[in-house]
Structures are given as structure tokens and as C-alpha cells.
Amino acid sequence: MNFFLTEEQELAVDSFARFLQAEIKPIADRYRGEKIPKAAMQEALKLLLPYGMGNGLVPEELGGYGFDEVTIGLLFEQLAMVSPDISVMILIQTEVGMLLVDAPEHIRESHLTPLLAGDLLGCIGISEPDVGSNISEIKTRAKQDGDDWLISGEKCWISNGHYSDFIVVVSQGEKAAGNGLALFVVDRDMGYTSADIEKMGLNGQSTAQLFFDQVPVPADRMISPPGEGLKTLLTLLQGSRPLVGLMAVAVAQCALNESIQYAQERKQFGKPIAANQLIQARIANMSIKIEASRLLLYKALDHVHRGLRSDLQAAQAKLFATEAAVDVTRDALAIHGGNGITLEFPVQDLYRIAPILTVTEGTSEMQKLIIGRILLGIPAF
């Protein structure tokens, strides 16, 4: 085991952190408290692409950078510390790109290449109003109609949804529900519509409902045939769940940083509150949870990089890190006292973001069921 970064990774993280402060933070600050327009989000994307954000995991021969998962994680964590909202967009672009890597050549040319250039924004349609973590119960239907498939249904909680130029939509094909999931690439101009959803946090980016009403999709837009879609998605989640966990780590680290500064500056009874034992105990516990989260997450990403099965590691890491972020941001709010609940201090925003991440890419309860199924060999769902 080697817990040290390579010289190349250290240089990459250092230069990226400086770039983020100079180029991305002004965009995030400009739209703080409001939704980032699509044009501004694409501006940020194109600035981030040279650093492997949104294209880094795609092999070089297909137009990406061919970075390893650990390096992507290191950079992604830095981005999420500057703007969790922009990091959501990058996460989705990354996931869509990885789904298109194994798509037919004509789809790679029409969608993957412009995606990697930042000219197209994509999204993935999995969750539905009545279907969340149990992907096999998806109700959206794809019915074959001559050379086309007609897709009908509704998707919910879709990140990048209202921005999207196209979607990789998960539908039940012609096989029985539970083993008939298929994946299609559907352009917006084929007929799907969207509406943004307002949330308790992370409203700087688009989370949307998407609607499909007999949308005709050519048969050559299928990238996973009926029965193969579930396997494709489960493989994708092994790599994406640790990245969600790193978003949680970034949020928690920001909360810790704010708490340390506040505790050093805020005085009560003639001394900084940092001199109080209870404050120091909170700070110590916050730092331990963050560091433990990092170790679990980078271990999971290392498993993915080595081509090892990592569903257990991904679920453990995502569960621990996101729940730890909830604890850490709650402690940060307590350290700030009454000031913590005012809009003047950023901890209130971090406090509202952290619980959202316990739901994203599978709830904490679902991660526990995945872990239990793997360890016990008996499914509970």
C-alpha cells in the first residue's frame, strides 16, 4: 500500500487548484444563490476539459485523456470544493462519456466526440417518480415499431436534465420487467421535454423531470439491448458512487475549514472559542471522519482502476462519506452558533447540500442493502 501521490499527481492537483481559484470560482460566485445558465455551465465545462474534467476517463484513442480513476478523483474533489454545482455537471458528463465509449461507432462520432469537446451536454435517465434505487422496476417503456422504438414514460431527479442536448434513457424493452432494461441515446429534438425541480440545495445546477410521450427513436440509437442495460448501469455505478462520495468529502472539508477559521477568530469570555475543549473535540472528530472517508473512497477508485469488482467498496465508501458529511456539516453549524444559520456564513449552504448526497446514486439505505447482500449472500430486495 502506498498512500502518497505520485509527483505527476501532486503537480496536477496543485496546478488545477490554482486554476480553479482563478477561472472557475468567479463563475460560481457570479451565480451563487441562483441557477447557473446553460451557456455559463458550458463555458465552465470548456475551461475544465483541458484538466480532464468531463473527458479524463475516456481512452485517448477516442478523444479523451485516458486518466486513471484515482487521478480523476483527486481533481474532482478539488473542483467540488470550489463549486459542488459545477461538479455535478462534470460528474454527469463523465458518466455519459463512459456509457458511450462502448457504443457503436456512429454514436461515438455523433455524440461522444462533441460531448468530449463540450459542445453537447448529456444526461442519464434512470430514476422515475415511483422508481428510485431498484433500477429493475423502471416503468418507462420502449416498444418496437418498425425500424423505430417508441419510448414513453417519465424520468425524475435527472441531473443535467434541463440542460441536456441528449439523454441516455433507460427503458424496459420487449422482455419481461426486471431483465429487459435497454439503453437508448435520444436527442432532445426527437421530442422529450423537461422541467427543473427546486431542491433544498444544489440549485445552481439542473435537476429535472423529463417526459417521453411515444418518442420515436431509430433502432441504431440503442447502445444496450433489452436484458443488457442493468449490467451496464451496475458497472457504471461502481465508478460513479465514489465520485459522489468525494463531493461529500469536499463539502465536509469546506465545512471544517470554515469552522477552524471561525473558531480561531470568534471570541467568547475573553478568548477564542478554539480554546474550548468541546470545540476542539468537535474539530477533531470532523477531521477524522473526513480522512476516513477519503481513504475508503480512494481505495474504491483504486479497485475500479485495477479492474477489480468494486461494488462492495463503492457502496461502503459512498455510504460512509455521505453520512459523515451530514455529521460534519451539522457540527460546523453548531460551532458557528447563531451565525451558522444566517446567509452570511457558507456553512448553512453546506449543511443543506450534504443530505442530498446521501440520496444521489443510491440512498444510504440501498447502500446498506448492497453491502448486506454481498457479505451475507442473501438479497433483501
- Contact by Cβ (8 Å): 90, 79: yes
Task: Name the one residue in this structure whose C-alpha cell is 486518466.
Answer: 67
Which residues neighbour 221 within 8 Å (Cβ) at sequence distance 6 or greater?
107, 149, 184, 185, 186
- CB atoms under 10 Å from CB of 257, counted, come to 13
Amino acid making up residue 106 = H
- CB atoms under 10 Å from CB of 105, counted, come to 8
Q: Rounded distance, CA 330 to CA 151, Å? A: 43
Q: Which of the following is catalytic: 95, 265, 361, 365?
A: 361
Kindly write down the DSSP assignment for every residue of 41-110, as one continuous string.
Answer: HHHHHHHHGGGTTTTTTS-GGGTS----HHHHHHHHHHHHHH-HHHHHHHHHHHHHHHHHHTS-HHHIII
In degrees, rounded to 5, the angle at the alpha carbon of residue 333 between the alpha carbons of residues 331 and 335 is 70
Whether 361 sits among the annotated catalytic residues: the reply is: yes
- Contact by Cβ (8 Å): 221, 103: no
Q: Rounded distance, CA 201 to CA 338, Å? A: 20
- CB atoms under 10 Å from CB of 21, counted, come to 12
Q: How far is CA 29 from CA 23, 96, 363, in A?
A: 11, 27, 30
Report, as residue numbers or ranges, the catalytic residues: 361
